[in-house]
Structure 1
């Protein structure tokens, strides 16, 4: 027997398992971490991919808008934002001519305290900060419609500046291919209707994890951002982190080319070959904030689905201290009761929140999902989970009573990051 640990909220859950049953403990590939963060930030922006170095782009007296991640995405913005802001000062840009827009997408508004925590007290005390709230229609300007019919409404705080600097981190995304890059703007700083139409393409079979070419969600986002970018200066600063939230590599430059190079590195870091699909997968999102609610947990559910056999079981170790994360998600599950019914309604009337209901429940057509969680038990049942428990042992017993004796397991302690595949 061997003891295994899984991150859970800001703590952990443990279980002893028969080591001979564990086919693989899937983790991010081991890469050396960045030791000197300020040095690497400057290296990235002065040796960018696909464009001129930052000092040839930014001129004295110009205005800059930074886009930063909200709390649902770990970015460590507080580490690189002071370096970027101070460097802009050296290039002749004053604090009063810079501001930050937080890319909320359709997520909840950030408090002032959360904004300060995100970028650090020094930067927060110097720069104006704004939430991009998708439902405040008056905050958005129209830039045309994509060939797929998505109306492009982008936050006005990105419009009247000389440069927009897109920051954030990159991981795989279950229907947009990859995070980072253009996603800072669309969906990050787009209006609700823009996000709604773009996300409706997730129902297309060509939308998927790690796919860009032919992926309608990704291509529509790229086209939408290109409409906004016409005549504008966009500069990318994206990083890739390991499971301990340490920086592995930084990428800067052209928002398309630099992102493409970074995505290849993401595949190297997070991709993992497994011998076969297992009877049972135990997956942790990696703790807070990735298991803050069901809405965020779903990404780990998708990764875990890559490692479980048809008819098997997945145990999700996810605290979900903020519940479901979406009233619409809850209501769609409760009212419709099956992934087939949810999809049918989405095809007629695509709604944000309801799309997450489909993203969550469609996975249950392959395997049963059990939760180790603080989520309300009735809510878990409403969302079609096979059970919700306090311990991994309880969840494992429930799984075995339904699928039979477990003879193979795959463990995913970094489940929000790692993408298993059978070769």
Structure 2
């Protein structure tokens, strides 16, 4: 089996379109009289767009998220999901007045339209007698940096800000955590105390591709979302030790471990997860059991985000838009590129990384190790604070063992990119031109403008469920 792709991943049907951005799924170079026409793409890059042209005669595919018809009434979509939860009773039957409710929401690194979802959930809680003062919104940071007050306010929306308590989850402060017994195959679980003290836990978030868990949403909002450092580190370590690319694969050892821990030790009584388009429009919503509802949501997310391509490419250029604030997040673009690239090909990451390498100071240092397996041998001798960046670096090193990696980024210096074992370029065009010189006129190219949100799927793979 190709280590880059899980055998059960699905895809959609390719269509040919002009080389312009619409809501199209795949853009291929149309035939000109003398061969293949040039392909021009504007790549999302933070708040800007960067131009790219692939010259005439080069076989090129551009993979956009699939075009889907979104419901005209998203309020009705959310009501329908809450009225018909999957493998769980209605929310109104899970809680009663006077109980404390923890609403776990994803953080600023996800574009989930939380302000349009939470009011529906809170309205259902109010019907049972739960008051605003009984509810706390906990922003699940995992190991990400704390959100500022302005970011928190934007994330929950003006309608709820000031009415309901909003806090960041705790990651390092043990005085604000509770230690729970782990499962036989894992360490003890450190979890934010406010989660354990709540009478009901509800996870609210989006379903998007994820490097280790396959997809965000479901039980991931608890582990690692609101877990302590030692517990969070266990998941990237498992990811780093798994040799195949789990981006978009829901049946993987990391997802299985987190779901076992959450259901057996912590508890997540209910979820509300949504699938949304790159423009932020709600496509589908699911509610109910943290595993069964999530699985249905993943099937729906594949309809938007799994995109077929014709052939593995010599050169894959991917942004990590919209998860492109730092290199820690931008690695998603490389994972997407890996799924479309041939062994020995080149992946070009285009990401602004305005916050630099990310929240873990030694991340770049670990990426300089050269060997994933050698790096992982150090893990057990290190504290959790170092195990986490080491493990994520190991996963990136596995990509470097298969691919040459180039990076275009304003937020990283050339020295930082070189330290990570990658090659810096000033613009996407410079990086593409260099790669085309390497592979010659017969090169195959794939471009993924939304690399953090698209799962490239080979045409020979199983269809979308």
Normalising by structure 1, we get a TM-score of 0.92
**Aligned residue in 2 for 1:330:** 364
Of 246, 249, 263 in structure 2, the residue corresponding to residue 226 of structure 1 is 263
**Aligned residue in 2 for 1:311:** 344
Give a deviation string over 1:93-149, Cα, whole Å, max 9, x none. 111110111111111111111110100122121111121121111111122111212
1:302 aligns with 2:335: yes
Q: Which runs of 5+ in 2 are unaligned?
A: 1-37, 461-465
Give a deviation string over 1:46-85, Cα, whole Å, max 9, x none. 1111111122223233221100111112211111112322
1:282 aligns with 2:320: no
> Which of 394-403 and 6-15 deviates more?
394-403
1:25 aligns with 2:62: yes
Normalising by structure 2, we get a TM-score of 0.84
Aligned-pair CA distance for 1:206: 6.9
Q: Which runs of 5+ in 1 are unaligned?
A: none
SS at match of 1:121: coil
**Aligned residue in 2 for 1:411:** 447
Q: Is the 8 A contact 1:369 1:387 kept in 2?
A: no
Q: Is the 8 A contact 1:46 1:55 kept in 2?
A: no
In structure 2, how many angstroms separate the alpha carbons of the residues matched to 1:153 and 1:207?
Answer: 27
Q: Is the 8 A contact 1:361 1:383 kept in 2?
A: no
Aligned length: 416
List aligned pairs for 1:21-420, cutoff 5 A.
21-202=58-239, 203-205=241-243, 208-213=246-251, 215-229=252-266, 234-287=269-322, 290-325=323-358, 326-334=360-368, 336-346=369-379, 349=382, 351-374=387-410, 375-389=412-426, 391-405=427-441, 407-420=443-456
- What's the C-alpha RMSD, in Å, of the aligned pairs? 2.0
Aligned-pair CA distance for 1:264: 1.6
Is the helix fraction higher in 1 or 2? 1
Aligned-pair CA distance for 1:89: 2.2
SS at match of 1:145: coil
In structure 2, how many angstroms separate the alpha carbons of the residues matched to 1:233 and 1:162?
Answer: 10
Give a deviation string over 1:342-366, Cα, whole Å, max 9, x none. 3443476570111221222321222
SS at match of 2:447: strand
Q: Is the 8 A contact 1:243 1:286 kept in 2?
A: no
SS at match of 1:357: helix
Aligned-pair CA distance for 1:182: 0.3
Q: Is the 8 A contact 2:182 2:265 kept in 1?
A: no
Q: Is the 8 A contact 2:136 2:164 kept in 1?
A: yes
